[in-house]
């Protein structure tokens, strides 16, 4: 059953809370803006996504190892990384709606609307001319499309210049020239654009006068960079090699909306891949392809992914792109792949006074490696899976069900054990099966309500298999295994249940697809 995109997002948010995936943080105190807690099913799904990423990085690549660095770091770390001076977003307020926005996002949205207009012109012409239509020639020659293209190129160039130079007056002028209106009030009554640093700060020290100002890390990458030599030497790593990490990061976002898509406390899965200078673009392309394969192996629909190259590069990068996903609110960044050059290690070497160089035994020389980064938001991965898994189905008998078609190896609960009735020895037999399976699979036992209602509850949390114990079980030691997606039931010997379910639920089923 097709669902309108805005309704889908609302339904996913509502479903997340009702079935124990995500709760507003501190809800009994009316919540805390853009902060969320993961419930019992959400925590399981989140851990399974982590496992999928961690195994891909550290098991499938013998030159990648993982670490877990501290959230608190020496404050000079953030001076060296550029975050103290350059980790700013351009902030603007609308005087009528009193709403606050990121000015660069408003500009990017305006550019995206012009790109949509071009696509509409192309689609209209394609319908008019049919099979003989040459889209490339049309884009190069159609006056209206050329006008839009020129405006887009001009806006992108001015955006890049304003962001690069910290020219907030230029950003305001660009907003005015693009005639950007507030989506809430519909007016163009904007304040001046100001820089806003995104780092949270706190103090470390038992006595206030002796306290040092420190920061909650805005990214996990710097913990990898400062440990580069520790890992390289203790692991006897040779270039190229990678260091992976999963951890919390914190950003005081100007506009933290769209549920868990943009939060102030979030989790990243990052890998920094250290390479010989001059080889970074080869590895940049390698990791673009590898990471896209990792995403597509989840079978959420290849059409829901696309690359988006950065026009406005960060101060440390010589190439960057996003893997975008088609969220309920449109295509947005899911993962970033960046060629960070030697900026980070060189800067830490300068500020720390410690050499952070790699000795290349083959070339008999020391140098600072270049870095290719892959960084995916764990919370965004969670949202991408949940939003595509959420399905409202009308069944042949006229009834309806809501089912989460989560990839089987990532499902919070893998199997529900359900005695048909709460008597005649069926619960005892069901518990025997439960006690055999629980060491290998996340199980759920339930004996209350009619079996149909119990199936629906398991569908709603995405449980891929239900094992039903009935009276026939007591005579021939067989049970039925119900498949979540097809709802088909198969009679299986109890002795075969464990091996069959473990094989079906293994995360290796997805990992092997990537290598094919």
Least confident of 77-81, 207-211, 225-229, 348-352: 207-211
Could you give the maximum distance between any two Cα atoms of the chain, in Å?
A: 81
pLDDT at 202: 85
pLDDT at 424: 87
* Residue 325 near residue 334, CB atoms below 8 Å: yes
Angstrom CA distances, 145 to 138, 139, 155, 158, stand at: 8, 6, 15, 20
pLDDT recorded at residue 262: 87
Opening angle at CA 293, ends 288 and 296, nearest 5: 125
Stretch (H or E) spanning 361: none
204-213, 238-247, 457-466, 478-487, range with the lowest pLDDT: 204-213
* pLDDT computed for residue 252 by the predictor: 84
Total length of the chain: 516
Helices 143-165, 103-129: crossing angle, 10 deg rounding: 160
Q: Which residues pair with 249 in a beta bridge?
A: 266
Query: Using an 8 Å Cβ cutoff, are 233 and 241 in contact?
Result: no
Mean pLDDT value across residues 236-260:
89
State the pLDDT at residue 403. Answer: 95
CA distance 277 to 283: 11
Residue whose token pair is 């877990």: 68
Average pLDDT over residues 400-427: 94
Is 328:9 a contact under the CB 8 Å cutoff?
A: yes
Helix (H, G, I), strand (E, B) or coil at 41: helix
Confidence of residue 383 (pLDDT cuts 50, 70, 90): very high
Confidence of residue 208 (pLDDT cuts 50, 70, 90): low
The answer to whether the CB of 352 falls within 8 A of the CB of 29 is no
Mean pLDDT of 69-84: 90
3-state secondary structure of 91: strand
Residue recorded with tokens 């009619």: 450
Question: Can you give the pLDDT at residue 40?
Answer: 96
Q: Residue 302 and residue 112: Cα distance in Å, rounded?
A: 22
pLDDT at 183 (0 to 100): 87
Please determine, for residue 159, whether its predicted confidence score (pLDDT) is greater than 70.
Answer: yes
What's the confidence (pLDDT) of residue 204? Answer: 84
Pairwise pLDDT comparison (126 vs 17), residue with the higher score: 17
Closest CA to 165 of 90, 252, 105: 90
Q: Is 477 left (phi over 0), alpha (psi -120 to 50) or beta?
A: left
The pLDDT of 162-182, averaged and rounded, is 90
Report the SS3 class of residue 126.
helix
**Cα–Cα distance for residue pair 186/170, rounded to 1 Å:** 22
DSSP β-bridge partners for residue 23: 37
Cα 262 to Cα 83: distance, rounded to the nearest angstrom:
19
Exposed e or buried b for every residue in 47-83, given b needs 16+ CB within 10 A? Answer: ebbeebbeebbeeeeeebbebebeeebeeebbebbeb
Cα separation, 401 vs 408, in Å, equals 19
Q: What is the mean pLDDT of residues 251-267?
A: 83
Burial environment of residue 116 by CB neighbours within 10 A (0 to 12, 13 to 18, 19 or more): exposed
- Mean pLDDT throughout 398-426? 93
CB 339 within 8 A of CB 284: yes
Q: What is the mean pLDDT of residues 208-220?
A: 80
Tokens standing for 389?
């898994």
Q: CA 309, CA 293: separation in Å to the nearest integer?
A: 18
pLDDT at 3 over 60: no
Q: What was the pLDDT predicted at 33?
A: 83
Q: How many angstroms separate the Cα of 177 from the Cα of each of 34, 123, 180, 274?
A: 32, 28, 8, 43
The secondary structure element, H or E, covering residue 356 is none
Report helix, strand or coil for 242: strand
d(CA 24, CA 515): 39
Q: How confident is the model at residue 1 (pLDDT cuts 50, 70, 90)?
A: very low
Task: Say if residues 379 and 16 touch (Cβ distance below 8 Å).
Answer: no
Summarize pLDDT for 415-446 with one digit per residue, the tens.
Answer: 999 999 889 889 999 999 999 999 999 999 99
């Amino acid at each position: 059953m097709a669902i309108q995109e805005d309704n889908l997002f609302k339904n996913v948010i509502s479903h997340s809370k009702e079935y124990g995936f995500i709760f507003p943080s501190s809800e009994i105190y009316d919540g805390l803006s853009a902060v969320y807690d993961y419930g019992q099913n959400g925590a399981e799904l989140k851990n399974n996504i982590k496992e999928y990423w961690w195994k891909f990085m550290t098991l499938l690549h013998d030159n990648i190892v993982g670490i877990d660095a501290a959230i608190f770091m020496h404050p000079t770390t953030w001076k060296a990384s550029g975050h103290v001076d350059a980790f700013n977003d351009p902030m603007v307020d609308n005087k009528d709606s009193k709403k606050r926005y990121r000015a660069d996002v408003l500009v990017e949205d305006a550019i995206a609307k012009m790109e949509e207009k071009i696509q509409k012109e192309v689609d209209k012409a394609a319908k008019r001319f049919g099979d003989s239509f040459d889209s490339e020639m049309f884009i190069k020659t159609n006056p209206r499309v050329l006008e839009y293209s020129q405006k887009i190129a001009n806006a992108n160039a001015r955006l890049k210049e304003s962001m690069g130079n910290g020219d907030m007056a230029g950003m305001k002028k660009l907003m005015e020239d693009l005639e950007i209106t507030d989506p809430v009030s519909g007016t163009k009554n904007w304040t001046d654009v100001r820089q806003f640093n995104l780092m949270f700060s706190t103090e470390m020290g038992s006595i206030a006068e002796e306290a040092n100002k420190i920061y909650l890390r805005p990214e996990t990458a710097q913990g990898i960079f400062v440990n580069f030599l520790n890992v390289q030497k203790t692991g006897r790593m040779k270039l190229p090699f990678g260091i992976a990490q999963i951890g919390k990061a914190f950003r005081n976002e100007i506009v933290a909306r769209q549920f868990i898509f943009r939060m102030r406390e979030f989790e990243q899965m990052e890998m920094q891949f250290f390479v010989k200078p001059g080889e970074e673009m080869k590895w940049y392309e390698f990791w673009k392809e590898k990471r896209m394969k990792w995403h597509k192996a989840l079978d959420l629909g290849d059409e829901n992914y696309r690359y988006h190259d950065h026009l406005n590069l960060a101060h440390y990068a010589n190439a960057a792109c996003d893997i975008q996903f088609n969220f309920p609110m449109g295509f947005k960044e899911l993962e970033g792949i960046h060629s960070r050059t030697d900026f980070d290690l060189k800067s830490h070497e300068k500020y720390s006074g410690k050499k952070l160089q790699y000795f290349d035994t083959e070339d008999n020389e020391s140098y600072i490696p270049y870095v290719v980064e892959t960084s995916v938001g764990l919370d965004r991965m969670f949202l991408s899976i949940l939003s595509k898994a959420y399905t409202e189905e009308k069944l042949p008998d006229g009834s309806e069900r809501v089912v989460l078609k989560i990839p089987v190896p990532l499902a919070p609960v893998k199997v529900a054990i359900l005695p048909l009735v709460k008597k005649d020895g069926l619960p005892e037999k069901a518990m025997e099966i439960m006690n055999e399976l629980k060491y290998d699979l996340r199980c759920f036992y339930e004996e209350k309500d009619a079996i149909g209602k119990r199936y629906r509850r398991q569908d709603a949390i995405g449980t891929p298999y239900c094992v039903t114990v009935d009276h026939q079980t007591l005579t021939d030691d067989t049970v039925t295994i119900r498949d979540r997606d097809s709802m088909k039931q198969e009679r299986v010997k109890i002795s075969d249940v464990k091996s069959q379910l473990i094989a079906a639920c293994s995360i290796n089923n997805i990992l092997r697809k990537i290598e094919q």
